[in-house]
Structure 1
Amino acid sequence: MASNTLQVFVHTLRYEADGIISIDLRATDRQDLPAFEAGSHIDCHLPNGLVRSYSLLNDCSERHRYVLGVLKDAKSRGGSKAMHEQLRVGMRLDISAPRNNFALHEEAAHSVLVAGGIGITPLLCMAKRLRSLGKSFEVLYFARSRAHAAFIEDIEALGAKVHFHFDDAQGGPPDLKALLAARHAANTHYYACGPAVMLDAFEAHCQSLGYANAHIERFAAVEVAASSAAQQRYTVELKRSGKVIEITPELSLLAALQQAKADVMTSCEEGICGSCETRVLEGVPDHRDSVLSPAEQASNRVMMVCVSGCQSARLVLDL
């Protein structure tokens, strides 16, 4: 874990919906926090020792605070449970500076923001940014019920076109393909964040509809199997430190880098947060992350070392 963290304190904890709280974080020295872009997230170093990533939902023009929305996941591995049960107002936390793997294309003629449940968090930040720029956009917000939908008042206050769908009231999930098909226009960008099943459907529908400008952010990893070209044994050179390490079937790339005390940050260790992104100087990675786009993976300029492997006999990393 890298040491370049920021210290903040919990200024406010607020109930937002069933199972969802918002957390307002501010710098302990009361100074401005690093600027961030719409779609960004931060890593939170939790009291139980875990590190978890959460999207920033507040207006990106704000410098005095970072606001998170956190769902208490019934299948929590300790992250969301700790956020709900262990955080207290005034408590200090270490966090990372903001990173953005879900960038907003501000030049788009129109933007469609598709949120499922807690997936509204990065999209709310995007909506606020688009409103400040005077850009055309609309929001599709799906939840199990109105009681499970957070930040409804914030969304309605945007003054934009919003389509709410609550499964209990509508008798089932939305017809996502029909909703997307009705929103076809030149130079439109489509963004989605929410449950994996919704994101899988979103990607499939955008592809079938011929929407090239589709973007997603996942909160849970998609398991990507090693390719047929993946090497079980290969050499990794760390260019800056001069170290050379050998990867074997018994030792993953991340484990080897950690043993070598390489300067690499980790958080999710599932290939979804982007904290371990590392520049590739030589060799061909075997990409198994859910962060990089197909074009970014094909360029082989960077890789997520927490889950990825290698397709060449040698890999040179900028570490």
Structure 2
Amino acid sequence: MTSDAEFSLQVTAVASPASGVRQVRLERHDRTVLPEWEPGAHIDVMLPNGVVRQYSLCGDPQDPSVYEIAVLRAPQSRGGSEYVHTRLRVGDVIPVRGPRNNFAFAARRRALFIAGGIGITPILAMIRRAEREGIDWTLVYGGRSRDTMAFADELERYGDGVQLVPEDEFGLVNLPGLLGTPLPDTEVYCCGPTGLLDAVQALCKPWPAGSLHLERFSGTVTDGPNDAFTVVAERSGVACSVVPGQSIVEALADAGIIVPTSCGEGLCGTCETKVLDGVPDHRDLLLGDDEREAGTSMMICVSRAKGERLVLDL
């Protein structure tokens, strides 16, 4: 279930489930029901310092009045995690948007969860769903050290289904041993740092199509030509040039067409736009291979055109 609704929530509790991680509980002031969400969903959090960040929901979808997020304090924070850790307090009211889900959990027989660091947050809700639905599952969870691994104590109650791999005790997760042989009827759900995701993606190439599901927290936009092209907003009757170094979103804004955006890195899906004509040069980290091949939609915060003209449903 996906929503672009915007509303305000109050911080009702904060906790520290691991060193360098802050867990935040959000509710309406009157404790009324919030928009429904499914495991893998995230919300846009609009912080008072003007920064907008996407955080995965790590609570329980069966509790309709509460959202919970867990935020890692980044060493080189651009203002999001630093604010959450040092300035956000119980009682503060902040606008949020969503929830949206680009990492939906759909396993039916068996799930292999692979988490790195704060990447455990969306997977935590998936595990709860798998338990309720009787889906066979295994979690392999790596982190720098045991004290930095959020929710480790909660996860250990699942017993042998959980393998914790603190790097300072056991080294890195043995991904070739884990993924070297495709497992029948198994879907892989992985979230964590870019290096982990890239390695898992490479190892899962021999697996059946559709087996791998990834969630990225940071973007590395694919390099490519930076030529100028024309973008046409069909419904608005506006055409404008997108010059080198300028995004489609920026060019449209200069022409008076404002498209909602959030991450600016092709990660969150806020700016996904239908393509009516032309061939997109996809540079996001969200669309799957089939979606890229179809070329019917694109993330206009980072993607460009392969030709001289794109027509968009705007």
Q: TM-score range by the shorter chain?
A: over 0.9
Check the 8 A contact 2:249/2:259 in 1, yes or no: no
- Rounded Cα–Cα distance in structure 1 between residues aligned with 2:96 and 2:256: 21
CA offset at residue 160 of structure 1?
6.4
List aligned pairs for 1:63-82, cutoff 5 A: 63-82=64-83
1:178 is matched with 177
CA offset at residue 158 of structure 1?
4.3
2:207 is matched with 210
CA offset at residue 185 of structure 1?
2.7
| Structure 1: stretches of 5+ with no match in the other structure | none
CA offset at residue 88 of structure 1?
0.6
- Rounded Cα–Cα distance in structure 1 between residues aligned with 2:160 and 2:241: 55
List aligned pairs for 1:90-109, cutoff 5 A: 90-107=91-108, 109=109
Letter in 2 for 1:174: V
Check the 8 A contact 2:113/2:189 in 1, yes or no: yes
1:291 is matched with 286
Letter in 1 for 2:263: C
Residue 292 (structure 2) pairs with residue 262 (structure 1): no
- Rounded Cα–Cα distance in structure 2 between residues aligned with 1:7 and 1:163: 38
Residue 270 (structure 2) pairs with residue 275 (structure 1): yes
- Rounded Cα–Cα distance in structure 1 between residues aligned with 2:246 and 2:149: 43
Check the 8 A contact 1:127/1:158 in 2, yes or no: no
2:52 is matched with 51
- Rounded Cα–Cα distance in structure 2 between residues aligned with 1:16 and 1:257: 43
2:21 is matched with 20
CA offset at residue 159 of structure 1?
5.6
Check the 8 A contact 1:20/1:69 in 2, yes or no: yes
CA deviations on 1:266-299 (whole Å, 9 max, x unpaired) are 1110111111111112211110001111111111
CA offset at residue 315 of structure 1?
1.3
Letter in 2 for 1:206: C
CA deviations on 1:65-120 (whole Å, 9 max, x unpaired) are 1110100010211111111112110101111111111111133x100000001000
Check the 8 A contact 2:40/2:104 in 1, yes or no: yes
Letter in 2 for 1:210: W
Residue 36 (structure 2) pairs with residue 41 (structure 1): no
CA offset at residue 9 of structure 1?
0.8
CA offset at residue 263 of structure 1?
4.3
SS in structure 2 at match of 1:96 = strand
- Rounded Cα–Cα distance in structure 1 between residues aligned with 2:50 and 2:76: 18
- Rounded Cα–Cα distance in structure 2 between residues aligned with 1:100 and 1:4: 13
- Rounded Cα–Cα distance in structure 1 between residues aligned with 2:154 and 2:298: 36
SS in structure 1 at match of 2:15 = strand
CA deviations on 1:21-46 (whole Å, 9 max, x unpaired) are 11111123422111011111111001
Letter in 2 for 1:303: M
- Rounded Cα–Cα distance in structure 1 between residues aligned with 2:301 and 2:30: 33
| Runs (4+) off by over 6 Å | none
- Rounded Cα–Cα distance in structure 2 between residues aligned with 1:275 and 1:216: 18
1:240 is matched with 235
The percent identity for this pair of structures is 41
CA deviations on 1:111-162 (whole Å, 9 max, x unpaired) are 0000001000001111111111111111111111110111123223446611
SS in structure 1 at match of 2:310 = strand
SS in structure 2 at match of 1:97 = strand
Q: Against the structure 1 CA distance between its residues 246 and 89, is the aligned structure 2 distance closer, same or farther, given a 3 Å change threshold?
A: same
Residue 147 (structure 2) pairs with residue 147 (structure 1): yes
Letter in 2 for 1:173: L
2:84 is matched with 83
- Rounded Cα–Cα distance in structure 2 between residues aligned with 1:221 and 1:211: 26
Check the 8 A contact 1:128/1:158 in 2, yes or no: no
Superposed CA RMSD: 1.7
2:309 is matched with 314
| Structure 2: stretches of 5+ with no match in the other structure | none
> TM-score, normalised on structure 2?
0.93
